[in-house]
Amino acid sequence: MSLPWPERAASFDARHYLLRASFKDDDLDAAGYPLSIPAVRDLERIEFHPKVTFLVGENGSGKSTIVEALAVLMGLNAEGGTQNFAFSTRASHSSLATVLRPVRGARQPRNRFFLRAESYFNLATTIEHLDREPGGPKVIDSYGGTSLHEQSHGESFMALMEHRFGANGLYILDEPEAALSPQRQLAMLVRMHDLIAENCQFIIATHSPILMAYPEAWIYELSADGIARVALRDTDHYRVTLDILRDPEARLARLLGD
């Protein structure tokens, strides 16, 4: 897939904030969660691209567990937000972060944010609660000034990327496409590209072949066989999507037995 990237963002100088993560010991129960997930159990060490790294796989393959652990390792709230958010709707995150050792780059990111599609509503609610307290600037001003609850899910997520995400940032995203139409996913890629040109690094768990198409990105596929780096066209997501779009009537006739 070829996208018309802006000429002004043609050169890159992305800072490498998170180089890799690896197991520091074997204290976790090998038979219990999260090591019961094959890809997590296979995760002796994972390297990150200085621009974009994708984790992909079936539901339950462990990609959200891994990005959540990475976010916690980098000092972020397990349910999303910046390092300044401490809300907890339900303490359901795994213990994986306790046995992973991050290897950071020489520079610290100026901005950090963890987006979880499933708890974004709770993040928006927390911002409203904070802004009801007297004194100080409004938190929502950093997100475009309009309540995230008063926008569609997709609009509020794009407001986050446009207004809250800034230069020199580390951004960890869990299934951001859940909020976005295909056209908005393309808009997200353009915004990502601009931010990468401003020294940002992204680590993203996704099901979207559109997002995975970002140039030069590393893609890790998680499966029952473990975790491995793959090319876009070798992912199940790409093959299944391409198969149905080539001839949807015939493919669905086979699938549905008609």
- Write out the DSSP string of 29-52: -TTSTTTTSHHHHT-SEEE--SSE
pLDDT at 96: 81
Residues present in the chain in total: 258
Ramachandran assignment for 22, one of left (phi > 0), alpha (psi -120 to 50 degrees), beta (any other): beta
pLDDT band at 132 (very low <50, low <70, confident <90, very high): low
At residue 93, φ and ψ (nearest 5 deg) are -75, 155
pLDDT at 147: 57
What percent of the chain clears pLDDT 90, i.e. is strictly above it?
Answer: 35
Half-sphere exposure of 69 (CA within 13 A, CB side): 23
The one-letter amino acid code at 257 reads G
pTM to 2 decimals? 0.80
pLDDT band at 137 (very low <50, low <70, confident <90, very high): low
Cβ pair 5, 51 in contact under 8 A: no
Cβ pair 56, 221 in contact under 8 A: yes
pLDDT(107) > 60:
yes
pLDDT at 51: 95
For 9-31, b/e burial (b = at least 16 CB within 10 A) is eeeeebbbbbeebebeeeebeee
Interhelix angle 236-246/248-256, nearest 10 degrees: 110
pLDDT band at 100 (very low <50, low <70, confident <90, very high): confident
pLDDT at 13: 44
At residue 220, φ and ψ (nearest 5 deg) are -105, 125
Lowest mean pLDDT among 50-64, 135-149, 154-168: 135-149
Q: How far apart are the first and last CA of the chain?
A: 32
pLDDT at 153: 60
Lowest mean pLDDT among 37-41, 43-47, 96-100, 167-171: 37-41
111 compared with 81, residue with greater pLDDT:
111
Helix (H, G, I), strand (E, B) or coil at 217: coil
Cβ pair 192, 201 in contact under 8 A: no
pLDDT(230) > 50:
yes
205 compared with 140, residue with greater pLDDT:
205
Question: What Cα–Cα distance (Å) separates residue 52 from each residue in 27, 104, 152, 153?
Answer: 30, 15, 26, 23
What percent of the chain clears pLDDT 70, i.e. is strictly above it?
Answer: 69
Q: Both tokens of residue 215? A: 């140039």
pLDDT(12) > 90:
no
pLDDT at 161: 84
Q: What is the DSSP string of 121-147?
A: HHHHHHHHHHHTSSSS--GGGGGTSS-
Lowest mean pLDDT among 88-102, 172-186, 232-246: 88-102
Q: Is the dihedral of CA 198, 128, 180, 34 positive or negative?
A: positive
**Quick one: how far is CA 137 from the chain centroid?**
28
